């Protein structure tokens, strides 16, 4: 009882069944204060297990039980999912993390003809003069007073400076170079410098064009932000009605009848304690009740539609990426829906691999890093949030979902889970509350809209969301149409 009292004083409610299991009270309380202060009040067993795994004790919450979901005329397979790592983390993880990123992307770059003869940086430093090719992580970028572009490249053998003259044919490419990404360069070495003639981004190869031979549809939504006062129930209910063939013209109803997949790309709920004074903007200020309400709404979706869900930065788990699938106790009512499939952010999910058809690989990423790149990359800044398609293309070309340190919060880990190691058929993201469709080298880019009206914060920063739009992908024609419910 003492334990329960001690935690309650700090605002955390411990169930009588969990209390006896807690061995190191002080450490656990510190962990809660660091990660969950003002966010949750009820401490579940999964949170305790999460604490144990982070402190190096092996015990893992059983979040994902199944990876393949086969039904009558549909199939979903989770191809790559981030799960808990059961060990203590420290500073060496960061070193391993960046080494792993470097190795993964270097291997991709080595497939490029231009980089066949790439050598390590120390070999360039010791080599006297002449043509050189290398691969490195961008340590810094700057512009000289004469307008030349200066770049520092690093690998695990050394650091070298490169210059791209403002008159160079590749000067335009410098507009999209960002720190910490891995690139290849071709140039000539003189003194301690490389005079760079070309920059090679890892990029994606042309993707094969897959088409299923019948009309089947997948739709993409995100950012429902249940619990927020700005949630738009009318628009959302129209969407639900349409899915149930209770709304729309004949053609629209026909489409609805053939939907087998619904992706929900994060921010299911508005959360609690996500930003200062959020409580003033909440209709439901209990995280459990928010998921309960989410489940109530999604329960009305026809059972034959597979609902594939990944978390976002407002959901109830650590904000640092990658984010594992939602906790099965906090989001229990959502887990209880028969047609729900939970995955991580990011993750790869294959849909509709039926008979001989290989299915479509969908890369899901909520999109937290988009804010950073829209603000910091000159080439992207000019379009602002209007061109999510360009932002997605940018990430594909980097083969990374958050190439710059600080573009998203990262959890240190041995492997860089944010590398786009597989080229998807569809890349789906959200977070910016505006729907946009694009296609880059046959990879279909879908940015989802939201179901939340303009918030005080968005008003302050001058962001105009476009809620109530739903991109709908036809597996037969590969067309994506945006339907409006507002």
- Residues that bind Fe ion in the complex, under the rule CB under 5 A: 267, 312-313, 431
Instruction: Pick the closer one to Fe ion by CB: 54 or 431.
Output: 431
Instruction: Pick the closer one to Fe ion by CB: 162 or 271.
Output: 271
Q: How far is the CB of 369 from Fe ion (least distance, A)?
A: 11
**CA–CA dist 146, 139 (Å, integer):** 21
Which neighbouring-strand residues pair with 437?
Answer: 446
Q: How far is the CB of 298 from Fe ion (least distance, A)?
A: 18
Per-residue burial over 5-33, b = 16 or more CB atoms within 10 Å of its CB, e = otherwise: eebeeeebebeeebbeebeeeeebbebbe
Would you state the structure tokens that stand for residue 107, as one six-digit string?
């291997």
Q: What is the DSSP letter of 255?
A: H
Q: How far is the CB of 229 from Fe ion (least distance, A)?
A: 17
Q: What is the dihedral of CA 315, 259, 432, 141, to 10 degrees?
A: 100
Residue with tokens 């004790």: 57
Provide the sign of the torsion angle of the four alpha carbons 428, 368, 453, 265, taken in this order: positive
Please, which residues have CB within 8 angstroms of residue 374's CB and are 6 or more apart in sequence? 380, 381, 384, 385, 391, 432
With contact defined as beta carbons under 8 Å apart, do 11 and 38 qualify?
A: yes
Q: How far is the CB of 186 from Fe ion (least distance, A)?
A: 39
Instruction: Pick the closer one to Fe ion by CB: 281 or 425.
Output: 281
Q: How far is the CB of 433 from Fe ion (least distance, A)?
A: 8
Q: How far is the CB of 311 from Fe ion (least distance, A)?
A: 10
Instruction: Pick the closer one to Fe ion by CB: 252 or 458.
Output: 458
Instruction: Pick the closer one to Fe ion by CB: 180 or 267.
Output: 267
Per-residue burial over 313-326, b = 16 or more CB atoms within 10 Å of its CB, e = otherwise: bbbbbbbebbbbbb
**CA–CA dist 370, 388 (Å, integer):** 8
Residue with tokens 């129209």: 238
Instruction: Pick the closer one to Fe ion by CB: 75 or 436.
Output: 436
With contact defined as beta carbons under 8 Å apart, do 122 and 158 qualify?
A: yes
Taking alpha carbons only, the member of 345, 378, 344, 348 closest to residue 360 is 348
Half-sphere exposure of 387 (CA within 13 A, CB side): 14
**CA–CA dist 271, 284 (Å, integer):** 9
Provide the sign of the torsion angle of the four alpha carbons 80, 369, 291, 297, taken in this order: negative
With contact defined as beta carbons under 8 Å apart, do 334 and 345 qualify?
A: no
Instruction: Pick the closer one to Fe ion by CB: 222 or 235.
Output: 222
Q: How far is the CB of 312 from Fe ion (least distance, A)?
A: 4
Residue with tokens 């008159």: 167
Instruction: Pick the closer one to Fe ion by CB: 151 or 450.
Output: 450
Instruction: Pick the closer one to Fe ion by CB: 187 or 367.
Output: 367
Q: How far is the CB of 33 from Fe ion (least distance, A)?
A: 24
Instruction: Pick the closer one to Fe ion by CB: 267 or 416.
Output: 267
Instruction: Pick the closer one to Fe ion by CB: 66 or 460.
Output: 460
Q: How far is the CB of 264 from Fe ion (least distance, A)?
A: 12
Q: How far is the CB of 430 from Fe ion (least distance, A)?
A: 7
Percent helix, strand, coil in the chain, to 5, is 30, 25, 45
Q: How far is the CB of 202 from Fe ion (least distance, A)?
A: 26
Nearest residue (beta carbon) to Fe ion = 431
Beta strands in 379-478 (DSSP E): 426-429, 436-440, 443-447, 469-474
């Amino acid at each position: 009882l003492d334990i329960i009292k001690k935690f309650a004083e700090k605002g955390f409610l411990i169930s009588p069944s969990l209390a006896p299991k807690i061995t190191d009270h002080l450490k656990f309380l510190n962990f809660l204060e660091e990660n969950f202060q003002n966010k949750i009040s009820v401490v579940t067993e999964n949170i305790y297990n999460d604490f144990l795994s982070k402190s190096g004790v092996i015990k893992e919450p059983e979040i994902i039980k199944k990876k393949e979901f086969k039904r009558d005329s549909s199939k979903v397979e989770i191809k790559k999912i981030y799960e808990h790592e059961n060990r203590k983390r420290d500073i060496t993880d960061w070193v391993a993390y960046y080494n792993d990123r470097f190795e993964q992307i270097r291997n991709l770059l080595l497939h490029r003809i231009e980089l066949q003869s790439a050598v390590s940086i120390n070999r360039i430093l010791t080599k006297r003069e002449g043509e050189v090719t290398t691969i490195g992580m961008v340590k810094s970028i700057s512009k000289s007073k004469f307008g030349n572009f200066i770049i520092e490249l690093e690998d695990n053998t050394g650091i070298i400076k490169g210059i791209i003259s403002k008159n160079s044919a590749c000067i335009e490419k410098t507009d999209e170079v960002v720190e910490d990404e891995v690139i290849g360069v071709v140039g000539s070495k003189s003194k301690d410098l490389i005079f760079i003639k070309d920059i090679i981004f890892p990029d994606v190869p042309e993707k094969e064009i897959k088409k299923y031979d019948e009309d089947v549809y997948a739709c993409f939504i995100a950012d429902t932000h249940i619990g927020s006062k700005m949630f738009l129930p009318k628009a959302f209910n129209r969407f639900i009605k349409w899915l149930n063939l209770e709304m729309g013209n004949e053609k629209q109803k026909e489409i609805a009848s053939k939907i087998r997949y619904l992706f929900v790309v994060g921010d299911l709920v508005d959360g609690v304690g996500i930003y200062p004074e959020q409580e003033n903007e909440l209709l439901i200020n209990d995280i459990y009740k928010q998921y309960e309400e989410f489940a109530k709404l999604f329960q009305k979706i026809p059972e034959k539609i597979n609902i594939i869900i990944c978390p976002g930065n407002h959901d109830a788990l650590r904000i640092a990426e990658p984010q594992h699938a939602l906790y099965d106790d906090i989001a229990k009512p959502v887990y209880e829906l028969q047609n729900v499939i939970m995955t991580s952010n990011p993750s790869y999910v294959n849909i509709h691999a039926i008979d001989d058809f290989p299915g479509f690989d969908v890369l899901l990423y909520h999109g937290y890093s988009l804010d950073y790149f829209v603000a910091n990359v000159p080439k992207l800044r000019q379009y602002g949030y209007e061109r999510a398609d360009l932002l997605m293309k940018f990430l594909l070309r980097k083969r990374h979902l958050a190439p710059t340190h600080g573009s998203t919060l990262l959890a240190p880990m041995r492997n860089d889970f944010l590398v786009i190691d597989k080229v998807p058929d569809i890349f789906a993201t959200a977070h910016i509350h505006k729907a946009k469709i694009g296609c880059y080298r046959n990879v279909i880019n879908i940015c989802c809209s939201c179901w939340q009206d303009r918030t005080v914060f968005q008003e302050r920063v001058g962001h105009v969301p476009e809620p109530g739009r739903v991109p709908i992908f036809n597996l037969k024609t590969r067309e994506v149409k945006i339907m409006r419910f507002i």
